[in-house]
Structure 1
Amino acid sequence: MNKIKEHFEQIAKLSDLDWHIFSSKLKKSVYSKKATILKVGDIENHLSFIEKGRLRFFTPKQENDITFGFCFENEFMSAYDSFLTRKPSTYQIETLTDTTLWRLTYKDLQDIYNETEVGNAIGRITTENIFLMKSKREQSFLNETAEKRYLNLFAERPNLIKEIPLKYIASYIGITPQALSRIRKRIS
C-alpha cells in the first residue's frame, strides 16, 4: 500500500485522514500469470493499482487477439470506459505475469471523492493522464509508420520490449509478428 501512497503524494499532499479513508477501502487481490481480470461483456467494477505485475488489454479474435494496451507496476488500470459508464466491456484484461492489485470498487471511489479533500484532484489528474496516453496512441496510428511506432515504444517504455511477448507488441503497434521481425532486423 505504500507504493500507492507515494504515487498519490506525487500528485497532491494527503492528510492522514484522507489516507485513512482511502486505504480503508483498498482490497488486495493476487492473480497468477494468464489470469483473466475482466471478460468481454462484464462490467468493470474496479479501479486497480498494480503493486506487482504486468497486464494487457485486448479484443479477443478467433485467429489473433488485438492487443491495444499494457499496464505495469505502479500504474492504475481499469477498463475505464466500462467503469465510468457502468456498461459491459467490449474487451478483456489479462495478466502477463503473477500480479498483485490493490482494488477499489466504483462505489468506494465515489465515496472517496465525497469524503476526502484531495480525492477529486487525484482522480482528475489520473484521468487526464489516461486521456493523454490514449490520445498519443491514437495520433501515432494516424501519423506514424509502424517502424516509428515501434521505435517510440522502445524509447518510451524499454521494459515493454524486454518483458512482453513480441506477438503482443506487434499487435499493439498494428502489424503482424512477421512484419515486426523485419523491422527489428532492419533497425538492428
Structure 2
Amino acid sequence: MEAFIEKFSRKYNLPAEDCQRLVGKMERYAFRKGECVVREGERNPDFYIVSRGIWLGHYCNDGVDVSVWFVGEGEALFSTWGYVGNAPSQITIEAMCDAELYGISKADLEEFFASSVGAANFGRRIFEEQFLGLENWILSGGAPRAEERYRALMAESPELLQVVPLKHIASYLWITPQSLSRIRAKLGKKKG
C-alpha cells in the first residue's frame, strides 16, 4: 500500500482497505508549485487526498494575505464552501511545492458513501476529523505564547519549513514575520 494511503488511514482512524477502495475510485492530478485547486471566488466541489506535497489554504483580508491551514501527504483537501453548498470558495488552495492529489467529484464521493453503512461511517469520520482540526487551530490562536504555537506546529509538521514561505507560517500562527524570525533565532540559540 502506498505511504499516503497509510497516513490517510491513520489520520482519520479508518480501515486501510476502505481507504484503498476510495482511492481506487479517484483520479490522479499533478500540480506545480503555485498552482491552485481553487481560487477565492471560484467554485470547486471536489474532494481530494494529498499523495505528495504541501498545500496552503489562504485568503485576502483588506489586502493582507491570511493563512488558514496547511495540509500534507495523507490528508484531505477541499473547499468547504464548494463541497457543502456549491458556493464560491472563500479561500485559495495553493500548492507550496510540486504536488500530487487524488480527486473525486462530490457526486461520485456521495455515491461511494451511500454504498454501505461502513462507507457512510467512513465519510462521517473524515469530516469529524476535519472539524476537530479546525477547532484545534482556532484554539491555538488563543495559546498564551506564539513560541508555544510555533513549537507545536514544528513538532506536528516540520516539513513545512522546507517548502512554505515564512510569511505564510507567521500568518498561520497569527504573528508577524518579524516575530517569527525572533522566535526562530531564540530557539536556534538554545540548540547551539
Q: Which category describes the TM-score, using the shorter chain as reference length?
A: 0.7 to 0.9
| TM-aligned CA deviation for residue 117 of structure 1 | 4.4
CA contact (8 A) 2:143 2:149 kept: no
1:123-167 CA distance string (max 9 Å, x none) = 111111111111111111124322221121122222223432211
Show the counterpart of 2:125.
125
TM-score (norm 1): 0.86
Segment of structure 1 superposing worse, 61-70 or 124-133: 61-70
1:83-129 CA distance string (max 9 Å, x none) = 11222111111101111111011101111011244221211111111
Letter in 2 for 1:36: C
Letter in 2 for 1:55: W
| TM-aligned CA deviation for residue 63 of structure 1 | 4.5
Show the counterpart of 1:83.
83
1:53-88 CA distance string (max 9 Å, x none) = 111000035654111111111111111243112221
* RMSD over equivalenced CA pairs, Å: 2.3
Task: Tell me the secondary structure at the aligned position of residue 67 of structure 2.
Answer: strand
The yes-or-no answer on 1:12 pairing with 2:37 is no
Structure 1 distance, partners of 2:31, 2:61, is 23
Show the counterpart of 1:166.
166
Unaligned stretches of 5+ residues in structure 2: none
Show the counterpart of 1:100.
100
Letter in 2 for 1:90: Q
TM-score (norm 2): 0.84
Percent identity between matched residues is: 27
Name the count of aligned residue pairs: 184
Show the counterpart of 1:137.
137
| TM-aligned CA deviation for residue 52 of structure 1 | 1.1
